Structure 1
């Protein structure tokens, strides 16, 4: 069973190495984190007020009744095919597997069939993950995946032992060619972020590191971006904006 919060697109990839690329997103429900420290306020369907990340609707199981349960990967492919057919692209559009935390489904047969289907068909497939869960690379198609690893820092308020998995980071970077790290930070967290990021990257194979501004609205992005840009310049990291939030705030399905 694949529990999916939403399937949407074509739209652009809003962040990371492939920012601006036309893509279809498959957003899985469930996450092993809550990331209350990111401070996005929301009210659950039962009326409880909480704080979490900007995809709380795919994280908080109180929204579970709004997720769609797909028994087979073919059902997911059929929905994606409807979206892909909207525009007459002359190339294979990118597929983004996101969440929540999609690697919670890594060991499910239908999830692997979904990945294999798109890799075999010639699509670029990105998995957006917090990279905290253990995983094994057992098939060649898995090594063609692009892992966009948004490792959480202490500003997420998640415990260190839970949020940083050096074995998984090393395994991903060793088995794939283009995978990378990205960190969401705000202007009030720069010094701690620098220390934590350097500690992480000193323990894993070399890869691209992107810094992104914290915020779930364009206004918050604007308040944080200049300081984050300067931090990237000063430390040799790459900066990446969050175009989907800058353009649409936290609107879903775009």
Structure 2
């Protein structure tokens, strides 16, 4: 049996960004990613002392942190989540890393099936670059929050854009959406790339969010991103978790 590599399970907290911002949620963060996103320039140090750059979830991306991840079955995860659940049906958010690396994993599908069939609202936060099939009814009831990476991630175009997967998710699920994190310096190029991408896709909601891993950086970028949203008919979304807690983990 192939187990899930779980970086952390935390909550109850709020969903900090995207379509369900402000919604009480429990997060299941899986380890492993198919991207490095060095262009996001979050500096960190590995357990062995090597300095690197990546995204703000580097501890779930870099295999150097693998020893901190816990190997779990779906039932192990469900049991741990149950200890955190309040007395109402809270949303479940599966994030990473890149959760779709586990799509063909039986334990991952068992986890999704359990929550969907027990009437939880399930969101998967994904870069949507991997090939997946949505052959089961419960899979089509998941909300996919698709953080497609733009050129500022420094990942190659062919690797980061998967039109087939994006089209499949948009057409076969209800309400799945695109979201992009942008700073003031990148806004013109971001606008061009998002237009080129959405021209190849079915109609889909686009959310723009300010880049930064501190409240100060969010403030510095928010006005430019709001203006870009207004200019293009996109939706602006703040990043509440960073505004309240900076980049503190587990909240």
**1:38 Cα deviation (Å)?**
0.6
Q: Which residue of 1 aligns with 2:117?
A: 120
* TM-score relative to the length of structure 1: 0.97
SS in structure 1 of the partner of residue 87 of structure 2: coil
Q: Which residue of 1 aligns with 2:80?
A: 79
**1:64 Cα deviation (Å)?**
0.4
User: Which segments of 5 or more consecutive residues in structure 2 lack a partner in the other structure?
Assistant: none
Superposition pairs of residues 1-254 of structure 1, within 5 angstroms: 1-70=3-72, 72-84=73-85, 87-89=86-88, 92-254=89-251
Taking the aligned partners of 1:88 and 1:78, their CA distance within structure 2 comes to 15
Taking the aligned partners of 2:154 and 2:6, their CA distance within structure 1 comes to 26
The superposition leaves residues 195-236 of structure 1 with CA deviations (integer Å, 9 ceiling, x where unpaired) of: 100010000110110000111111111111110000000110
The superposition leaves residues 15-35 of structure 1 with CA deviations (integer Å, 9 ceiling, x where unpaired) of: 000000000000000000010
**1:88 Cα deviation (Å)?**
2.4
Taking the aligned partners of 2:141 and 2:173, their CA distance within structure 1 comes to 6
SS in structure 2 of the partner of residue 23 of structure 1: strand
* TM-score relative to the length of structure 2: 0.98
Taking the aligned partners of 1:164 and 1:21, their CA distance within structure 2 comes to 29
SS in structure 1 of the partner of residue 207 of structure 2: strand
User: Which segments of 5 or more consecutive residues in structure 1 lack a partner in the other structure?
Assistant: none
Taking the aligned partners of 1:177 and 1:207, their CA distance within structure 2 comes to 10
Count the aligned residue pairs. Answer: 249
Deviates most, 7-16 or 212-221: 212-221
Taking the aligned partners of 1:88 and 1:197, their CA distance within structure 2 comes to 41
**1:138 Cα deviation (Å)?**
1.1
The superposition leaves residues 87-129 of structure 1 with CA deviations (integer Å, 9 ceiling, x where unpaired) of: 322xx11000000000000000010010000000000000000
SS in structure 1 of the partner of residue 185 of structure 2: coil
SS in structure 1 of the partner of residue 97 of structure 2: coil
